[in-house]
């Protein structure tokens, strides 16, 4: 069996990113700076012939994918497959809140003194669950709900495989990409922020995923 090479790109910087506000299912367009950085990432990927392109169904990932494909030498008018499975984590009533305010409430829920302590000392699953519990309306996604839909998205990509060796462009979100890196890495990885328009590379072969590189 051949390899499916997944090129995971976080969307370009948006206005809500710039204002340091929570942006899960909430959406905002790319800033001018975000467009420029996405363009540079597109140039890095220009010589890769992609077989399929996936994004979440949120506008910021579609906008980023269009910029990336505009730089690709093998674009050939590839269709963008918009999938709700690759949406960002839903932050519930924290959507649109300032990051510092929201994460401080989550840290408090765990009895911690700071966001930094939480991120440094606790696995991603616990952090997502704490967000779910700290949401006053408890509508923020649980880790089980989040991981289940991401798994469904990956299954969709593999089910639509058309040949043994394929290059797949997947434009998604920070927590989604971080989850996949943690899930498939051979070694424990400290939770990190996935940079806007950064490239992460995961390969699928013989029914297994492997992290090749991330956040580059």
| Structural domains of the chain, ranges and CATH numbers in brackets | 4-88+141-213 (3.40.50.1240), 91-140 (no CATH)
The two tokens of residue 135 are 């949401």
**Alpha helices of 85-173 — where are they, by DSSP H?**
99-109, 115-121, 124-134, 143-159
What local confidence, expressed as pLDDT, does residue 169 receive?
Answer: 98
Which pTM value belongs to this model? 0.94
Please report, in tens digits, the pLDDT of each residue of the chain (216 residues total).
799 999 999 999 999 999 999 999 999 999 999 999 999 999 999 999 999 999 999 999 999 999 999 999 997 789 999 999 999 999 999 999 999 999 888 888 777 766 677 777 778 888 899 999 999 999 999 999 999 999 999 999 999 999 999 999 999 999 999 999 999 998 877 777 899 999 999 999 999 999 999 999
Say how far apart CA 80 and CA 171 lie, in whole Å: 10
Q: Is 34 exposed, middle or buried (0-12, 13-18, 19+ CB in 10 A)?
A: buried
What local confidence, expressed as pLDDT, does residue 166 receive?
Answer: 97
Residue with tokens 């363009």: 39
What local confidence, expressed as pLDDT, does residue 112 receive?
Answer: 77
Residue with tokens 């840290």: 107
Q: How far is CA 134 from CA 23, 106, 107, 156, 174, in A?
A: 17, 5, 9, 32, 20
């Amino acid at each position: 069996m051949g390899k499916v090479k997944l090129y995971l790109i976080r969307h370009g910087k948006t206005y809500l990113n710039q204002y340091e506000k929570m942006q899960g299912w909430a959406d905002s367009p790319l800033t001018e700076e975000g467009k420029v950085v996405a363009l540079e990432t597109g140039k890095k990927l220009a010589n890769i012939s992609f077989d399929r392109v996936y994004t979440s169904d949120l506008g910021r990932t579609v906008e980023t994918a269009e910029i990336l494909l505009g730089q690709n030498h093998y674009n050939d008018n590839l269709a963008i497959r918009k999938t709700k499975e690759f949406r960002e984590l839903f932050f519930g009533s924290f959507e649109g809140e300032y990051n510092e305010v929201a994460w401080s409430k989550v840290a408090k829920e765990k009895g911690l003194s700071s966001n930094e302590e939480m991120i440094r000392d606790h696995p991603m699953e616990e952090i997502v669950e704490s967000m779910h519990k700290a949401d006053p309306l408890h509508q923020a996604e649980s880790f089980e709900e989040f991981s289940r839909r991401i798994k469904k998205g990956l299954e969709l990509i593999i089910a639509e495989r058309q040949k043994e060796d394929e290059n797949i462009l997947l434009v998604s979100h920070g927590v989604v990409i971080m989850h996949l890196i943690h899930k498939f890495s051979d070694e424990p990885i400290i939770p990190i922020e996935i940079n806007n328009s950064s490239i992460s590379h995961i390969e699928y072969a013989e029914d297994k995923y492997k992290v090749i590189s991330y956040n580059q």
